[in-house]
Amino acid sequence: MKRLVLDLAAIFMFVGAIFHVACLFGGADWLLFAGAPVEFSEAYRAGAVEPIFWTLGIAAMLTVWGLYAMSGAGRIRRLPLLKTGLGVIGVLMTVRGLGGIIMLFVSDWPWHLPIGQFHAVASVMIFGVGLFYLYGLWKEFRPS
């Protein structure tokens, strides 16, 4: 089971990385849909390079996080600080997802718009992936 949840976590991370890169090809409207601030997407529309670096940086981070999931699942060699990496990634993803879920209920969430629906689904998925990392960490390193 540990292997399965970490495999799924890796897949989600790699898909997220690809999605971020695809947003650069999709343009400013894709960046807005993905949750980028208006100023960020307008800077991209105007030809600024900073949004490209930030977006590629997020894609690179998600790729590394996917590699940590693969390492935890035993699919690739053991990466440095695997236990710490799985724990930090799990906590960050869980907190981010939970924060998004809470915002669905305490804010004026735009449920009627595709962007609101996208962020609702994304928050639930991010929360779940965070739990996958934490479950994988627990199964791998729990005291016997």
Confidence of residue 54 (pLDDT cuts 50, 70, 90): very high
Q: What's the Cα-to-Cα distance from 138 to each of 9, 67, 77, 83, rounded to whole Å?
A: 15, 18, 19, 9
93-115 pLDDT, tens per residue? 999 999 999 988 898 888 778 88
Signed CA dihedral, 66, 53, 39, 114: sign only: negative
CA atoms within 13 A on the CB side of 143: 0
Q: Encode pLDDT of 13-47 as tens digits.
A: 999 999 999 999 999 999 988 888 899 999 999 99
What pTM was computed for the model?
A: 0.91
- Where would I find the H helices in 107-143? 114-141
Quickly state the pLDDT bin for 140 (edges 50, 70, 90).
confident
Position 122 scores a pLDDT of 94
Mean predicted confidence (pLDDT) in 67-82: 96
**What is the pLDDT at residue 94?**
98
